[in-house]
Chains A and B, each alone.
Chain A
Amino acid sequence: MENENFLRKNLPAILWIAVIASIYFILSSLITPFSEGITLNTEIVIERLKEIGSFLFGILGGLAIIEIYFFQIFFRQPINSTANIITRVIQVALGLLTFTIIIYFFNLTDLIKLGDGPISSFINTPFDIFTSLQKSLISAKIATKNSGTMIAGIIISLGVLALYAVIQFISKPRSSRVGLAYLLILPAFIGVLFLIIYPFLFEIKLAFSNASLGTQATKNAEYGLIFGWENLKALFTGSVAKDAKFLEVFWRTILWTGINVTFHTLGGMGLAILLHRPLRFKGLYRTLLVIPWAIPGTIAAMALRNEFDSRYGLFNILLGNLNTWLTTVSQNTVNIVGIGNGFAWLAATIGPVSWKQDPFWAFVSVLIANIWLGIPFMSVIILGGLQSISQEYYEAAEIDGASRWQQFRNITLPLLRPVLTPAIILGVVWTFNKFDIIYLITQGGPQEKTDILVSSMYKAAFQFYRYGFTAMFALVIFAILFVFTLIYLKVSGGLKSATE
């Protein structure tokens, strides 16, 4: 009976394991005959798993140690005054250790320069101890070269845990109202500090430097207000990447954002309104229409890049066919006054276009690609908004004799506002920043005539290695977006609803 229950309980799990195992065996038996031609092998997989595993282990261990530290601060109270002194001494010492590690990290990544003074040797002490521990472990054959860091880390962590045990032993529990909240936030806070705040501070520092390839990035870079001023001056008077000027690129960015968002909204709205009616095959249409959104963006961009080829790309083939057709028509209608000339004119105007060489058409090509990619998202969002509008409004309006256009103007649009406003404004911000399409299709060319601000910045950093300049550029873009965001928050009241 018990056996049966056990079986019944675990049957799904067993089945899943069986399915996964059989898939694995079928796949591996299928692939084995070809394994000579495949560069991926078990060794690489295991190597990567080890690398990531130790990385995760290190992060989780470090977080656990920091969490326990704050747990004891919030939730433990020393039992007497001697215990109090011991506890505080340990805690201050550990805090100091953490502080030196942070400073060491700053020094390592060149955020601050310590030089060779006594402070620097003090800061380096924990790491000197750590390295010597590591070395002695390796020379004592306890650890190999690869596992040295990990084992040394574990030993240090055990030491810290022993200190925690002492504190735990000489304290009693107490309650804290906000302690748990801070403990819960701490991991994410550390993550954000390391991933966003630190790089941001670093960016500000870089903006006031002359860092470039010549100074080996930050190694020999000099810092000062004068460099910041020069970077700023270079940004507005010089070229942003190679040839293009700031204002020119700025206007193009506005144009890029405006055209894209307009077409996304109008196209999305049109499709959403059509799809909102009761209609046969609606589900099929909806599935087919979201396909551009479902395709991985990189693949879509690279595929379209080839479709803009002047001879074999889809667009020029279509334009070429259209041109041939128009020419035939104009030859057949040449005797009809007016129409014949009209077709002749059309045949002369419409034809294959040099998408890659002509700056105007290159810009049109990236616009076509981005509009094609972006409409499904907007139509799905707007459709969701339309579905939330009660049908009763329309019925009432119909009874009152309102026309379709009046219904759209006075019911649909106002009730769509809560959906439409944030969607449009966020659409503006994303499009402003979205340059992967541009980069993959034209790489900003020809002669940087399709670059927008963000893609110029990317180029300045990673093609021309103008690091200090790029940092200042990034700050200026950030300022532009910040102003826009403030306006957005004011318009949508997002700030209030977010923090409520």
Chain B
Amino acid sequence: MSTNPISRFFRWFFYRSRGDSPFKTILIHATLIASCIIAVYPALRVVTISLRPNDTLLTTDLRIIPENATLDNYKEVLFGDPEKNRQSDFFLWIWNSFSVVAVTSIISVILAAISAYAFSRFRFPGREAGLVFLLTTQMIPAGMLLLPLFIMIAKLKMINTSLGLIIAYAVTSVPLTIWTLKGYYDTIPVDLEEAALIDGASRLTVFTKIILPLSTPALAIAFLFSFMGGWSEYLVARVVLQKNEIFTWPLGIFTFAQQFTVSWGQFAAASVLIAIPVMALFLYSSKWLISGLTLGSVKG
């Protein structure tokens, strides 16, 4: 056992498994580091651009921290620019997105929590047909029903309202949530309920006192799935919402992205502000998200 720190580091770094040679280990690390750079660098570029001062926005510089880095873009995106008499819609967009997506997710989780229990525990005529139907809806592209939905929403005079978008998002979110939760309920042993039923509890008590508390993590996953599905949706929102004051953030920052030369910096700053909380939430919950993917079937 040598105490030389360098050789200890080497031993630590190359801790052997299945007899990989040091050369091979280095090769594997190099491959992974290269993949990490490919994965991270384009994302990091957005941060870089957001820090660039406006006069050097368009450069062929590849450094991560630009020269004369400034937070001006962030300030303008968040609070507008009083000198140019420009107001910021950023918080408005976030609020629009949040209110629509949160309500959609709440509705679908409530509907699904109840009906998935019936699908999981009861045998009744029409059950199989219902399940097959739910499975098929996962294969239908969301865009396919967009046209009739659009006409329906228009006839109900819900174009340019958040309610119209809630309806459109619920189309994909409800079946998916039912499917996920049904998969989870199936994993809860029936014995628990049977014991409670024998003790004289009603089905409703069993559902509210046993099943719902046991499935809180799954309900959270289903909520998160449905939330993530709608949060950065662009194409449906573009059809339903056409006024700036009702825009969700993907529509909003697309107006930045379109004026490439003018507001690339603002687009980047807005993107960073939105992406960081989402990514933090995602990385934090990724373990459960991944287990949620295998709960029901797989759906992204």
Contacts and interface: CB of A to CB of B under 8 A. Distances in A.
Interface of A: 31, 34, 36-40, 44-45, 48-49, 51-52, 55-56, 59, 108-110, 178, 180-182, 184-185, 187-189, 191-192, 195-196, 198-200, 202-203, 206, 217-218, 271, 274-275, 277-281, 285, 287-300, 302-307, 309, 311-312, 314, 317-318, 320, 372, 376-377, 380-381, 384, 398, 422-423, 426, 429-430, 432-433, 435-436, 439-440, 454, 457-458, 461-462, 467, 470-471, 474, 477-478, 481-482, 484-485, 489, 494-495, 498-499
A439 B155 CA distance: 27
B118 A198 contact: no
Contacts of A489: 135
B209 interface: no
Contacts of B267: 302-303, 306
B40 interface: yes
B235 A458 contact: yes
Given A200-B148, A317-B60, A422-B298, A271 B140 contact: no
Contacts of A188: 111-112, 114-115, 174, 178
B217 to A, nearest CB: 18
Contacts of B278: 294-296
A73 to B, nearest CB: 15
B111 A37 contact: no
Given A187-B114, A481-B139, A299 B271 contact: yes
Nearest to A107: B155
B132 A191 contact: no
A199 B170 CA distance: 13
Contacts of A195: 149, 167, 170-171, 174
A181 B264 CA distance: 54
Contacts of B78: 34, 38
A196 B45 contact: no
A299 B253 contact: yes
A98 B259 CA distance: 51
Nearest to B139: A485
Interface residues of B, number: 121
A203 B152 CA distance: 11
Given A52-B103, A306-B257, A184 B115 contact: yes
Interface string B211-231: 000000000000000000001
B145 A37 contact: no
A212 B290 CA distance: 44
Contacts of B298: 381, 422-423, 426
A305 B124 CA distance: 51
Contacts, number: 320
Contacts of B25: 279
Nearest to B17: A278
B41 to A, nearest CB: 8
Given A185-B115, A196-B137, A317-B62, A37 B254 contact: no
B132 to A, nearest CB: 7
11 contacts: A31-B79, A191-B170, A196-B137, A206-B151, A279-B28, A294-B278, A298-B253, A303-B268, A307-B42, A317-B60, A426-B297
A44 B92 contact: yes
Given A34-B78, A306-B260, A457-B143, A312 B122 contact: no
Contact of A467 (B90, B147, B175, B238): B147
Nearest to A282: B32
Interface in B84-109: 86-92, 95-96, 99, 103, 107
A38 B91 contact: yes
B117 interface: yes
Nearest to B106: A56
A303 B144 contact: no
By CB atoms of chain A within 10 A, which of B87, B143, B294 has the most? Answer: B143
A31 B154 CA distance: 37
Contact of A198 (B15, B35, B146, B152): B152
Q: Which 4 A-B pairs have the closest CB atoms?
A: A37-B80, A188-B115, A296-B232, A181-B122
A422 B99 contact: no
A489 B38 CA distance: 36
A471 B45 contact: no
A300 B234 CA distance: 12
A426 B148 contact: no
Contacts of A462: 150, 238-239
A52 B282 contact: no
B290 to A, nearest CB: 6
Contacts of A295: 43, 275, 278-279
A291 B162 contact: no
A461 B234 contact: no
A80 to B, nearest CB: 28
Contacts of A429: 139
Contact of B119 (A185, A433, A440, A495): A185
A412 B60 CA distance: 45
B128 interface: yes
A52 to B, nearest CB: 5
Interface in B117-138: 117-119, 122, 124-125, 127-128, 130-133, 135-137
A285 B36 contact: yes
Nearest to B155: A109
B189 interface: no
A274 to B, nearest CB: 6
Nearest to A181: B122
A458 B146 CA distance: 9
Nearest to A285: B32
Nearest to A377: B300
B286 interface: yes
B23 interface: no
Given A52-B162, A433-B143, A298 B234 contact: yes
Given A39-B89, A110-B155, A299 B299 contact: no
A465 B123 CA distance: 46
A302 B257 contact: yes
B124 A181 contact: yes
A301 to B, nearest CB: 8
Contact of A298 (B18, B232, B300): B232
A182 B123 CA distance: 10
Contacts of A439: 234-235
Contact of B149 (A199, A296, A376, A436): A199
B153 to A, nearest CB: 9
Contacts of A192: 133, 137, 174-175
A309 B260 contact: yes
B257 A184 contact: no
Given A188-B115, A203-B147, A178 B42 contact: no
